[in-house]
Amino acid sequence: MIYFDNPTKTELTNKFFSVNIMTAKSEAQRAVTLELAEANIRPLPAEAQKQIADKLLAPQLNEPKKKQNNHIRVRQEKSPKPYFFHR
């Protein structure tokens, strides 16, 4: 068996730039970018928030209440008899 005293280029690359390390770095970078973007966003004024809430709630308030029928019968069809019962 041959042993190398000096690590090969592939071993060094895999140690410092493994898939796990590169994935973790890209996820961390994405998280920081999102946090910075969210920090720059200002909330909507209260009036605008109320208008949006009213638009979202309007269809629910205007709908007539539907009857709830908890006793719905499901029609069950008879399963055919197995072949050996047929004459």
Residue-wise pLDDT for 29-83, tens only, equals: 999 999 999 999 888 899 999 999 999 888 776 666 666 655 555 555 666 666 6
- 5 vs 36 pLDDT, higher one: 36
pLDDT at position 32 is: 96
pLDDT > 90? residue 27: yes
CA distance 50 to 57: 10
Burial 17-47 (b: 16+ CB within 10 A, else e): eeeeeeeeeeeeeeeeeeeeeeeeeeeeeee
Rounded-to-integer distance, Cα 27 and Cα 21, Å: 10
| Distance in angstroms (rounded) separating the CA atoms of residues 15 and 23 | 14
pLDDT(87) > 60? no
